[in-house]
């Protein structure tokens, strides 16, 4: 449900809270709930006054202006649920979540808690992608802490395997990229990892075309996956612009993957850009970017985006056996060490 709040004060806050919940939490549109004889107050963040307001909107639809750019191109949860309803095979076939954070950087849950929650979701493997040192605000890790995390992951994997439990935990990272597309970690440290995500976290509000930045990012041989490419945030930041056709073609040429960051407030890439990515034939990686156990549930937004854009599942890392993903990153390491 897309609500536009004109009220101020606590009523305005109540409406805006319901509007946010209506976007990303309600499994059904308010109109559909009413049509099926359900109660609006059963929806998250809908009290009696908000319910009456929505009923008023439904009876006499107000003129709703186009949302501002920072709120465009986001799927609602109701759209996601409807999209997945016809694609049970996507849900059952997905083997991995390839972006999540733990208490090693800015996540709320420990490595073990995230791994166990991922096991409960039925994943065969997951990528642990804590931040690198260039992002101190997110407690980014230096090489020494990365090595300690490697030891912890290896021990956890041995324990899970001995107990006959999944998932296999891949040691990955969300490496900070400078606006020039350069990473911030020693090559020897990166060479130990199963998978390297690269992401921009600075100068994200520029209006000028950023194609060169992205070409440098996807051609950086250290980066396997370009994470949350556009860097947009719902209602806060529209994200960067580029000639995306060129960027995705360049990524496809060097076989770097681009990510669907399935966080409800990112949805980056969104459906429109995913269609461009589909036409370029670039590899796709899906990550929830979960910073808590609950946020692992964002996967449905990533799957729905891919389905709506017509991305073939063969192009999505998350549907491949873990051996294939590891063989892909290993071949990229070999190619970059022989070409330099």
Q: Which residues bind Zn ion (CB under 5 A)?
A: 199
Judged by beta carbon, residue 80 or residue 225, the one nearer Zn ion is 225
Tell me whether residue 83 or residue 220 sits nearer to Zn ion (CB atom).
Answer: 220
CA–CA separation, 46 and 52 (whole Å): 10
Least distance CB 167 / Zn ion (angstroms): 22
Residue closer to Zn ion, measured from CB, 156 or 197: 197
Q: Which residue is nearest to Zn ion (CB)?
A: 199
The SS3 assignment for 60 reads coil
| Nearest residue (CB) to Zn ion, 33 versus 238 | 238
Q: Distance between CA 197 and CA 274 in Å, rounded?
A: 18
> Residue 261 CB, nearest distance to Zn ion (Å)?
8
Of 232 and 332, nearer to Zn ion (C-beta) is: 232
Tokens of 220: 């950086």
Question: Tokens 């980014």 map to which residue?
Answer: 140
- Which residues fall within 8 angstroms of residue 164, CB to CB, at 6 or more apart? none
Structure tokens at 13: 């806050």
CB of 15: closest distance to Zn ion in angstroms?
30
CB of 197 to Zn ion, least distance (A): 8
Q: How far is the CB of 149 from Zn ion (least distance, A)?
A: 17
The minimum distance between CB 260 and Zn ion, in angstroms, equals 14
Q: Which of 195, 185, 54 is nearest to 132 (CA)?
A: 185
Other CB atoms within 10 Å distance of the CB of residue 306: 29
**DSSP at 298:** G
d(CA 125, CA 318): 9
CB of 222 to Zn ion, least distance (A): 16
Contact partners, residue 125, CB within 8 Å, separation at least 6: 95, 96, 166, 167, 168, 169, 170, 322, 325
Residues 264 and 24: their CA atoms lie apart, in Å, by 6
Instruction: Considering the complex, state which of residue 83 and residue 105 has its C-beta at the smaller distance from Zn ion.
Output: 105
Decide whether 199 or 251 has the Cβ nearer to Zn ion: 199
């Amino acid at each position: 449900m897309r609500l536009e709040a004109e009220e101020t004060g606590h009523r305005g806050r109540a409406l805006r809270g319901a509007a946010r919940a209506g976007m990303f939490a309600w499994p059904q549109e308010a109109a559909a709930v009413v049509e099926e004889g359900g109660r609006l107050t059963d929806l998250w963040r809908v009290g009696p006054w908000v319910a009456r307001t929505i009923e008023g909107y439904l009876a006499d639809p107000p003129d709703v202006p186009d949302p501002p750019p920072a709120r465009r191109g986001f799927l609602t949860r109701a759209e996601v649920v409807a999209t997945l309803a016809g694609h049970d095979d996507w849900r059952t076939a997905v083997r991995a979540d390839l972006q999540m954070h733990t208490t090693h950087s800015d996540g709320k849950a420990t490595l073990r808690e995230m791994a166990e929650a991922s096991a409960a979701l039925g994943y065969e493997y997951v990528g642990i992608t804590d931040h690198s040192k260039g992002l101190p605000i997110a407690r980014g890790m230096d090489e020494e802490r990365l090595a300690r995390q490697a030891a912890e992951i290896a021990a956890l994997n041995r324990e899970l395997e001995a107990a006959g439990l999944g998932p296999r935990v891949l040691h990955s990272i969300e490496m900070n990229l400078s606006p020039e597309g350069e990473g911030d970690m020693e090559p020897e440290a990166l060479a130990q990892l199963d998978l390297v995500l690269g992401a921009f976290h600075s100068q994200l509000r520029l209006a000028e075309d950023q194609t060169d930045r992205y070409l440098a990012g996807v051609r950086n041989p250290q980066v396997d996956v370009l994470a949350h490419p556009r860097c947009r945030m719902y209602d806060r930041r529209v994200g960067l612009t580029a000639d995306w056709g060129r960027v995705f073609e360049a990524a496809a040429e060097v076989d770097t993957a681009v990510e669907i960051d399935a966080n409800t407030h990112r949805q980056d890439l969104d459906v429109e850009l995913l269609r461009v990515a589909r036409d370029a034939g670039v590899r796709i990686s899906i990550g929830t970017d979960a910073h808590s156990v609950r946020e692992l549930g964002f996967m449905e937004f990533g799957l729905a985006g891919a389905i709506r854009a017509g991305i073939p599942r063969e192009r999505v890392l998350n549907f491949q056996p873990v051996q294939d993903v590891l063989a892909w990153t290993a071949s990229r390491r070999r190619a970059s060490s022989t070409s330099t």
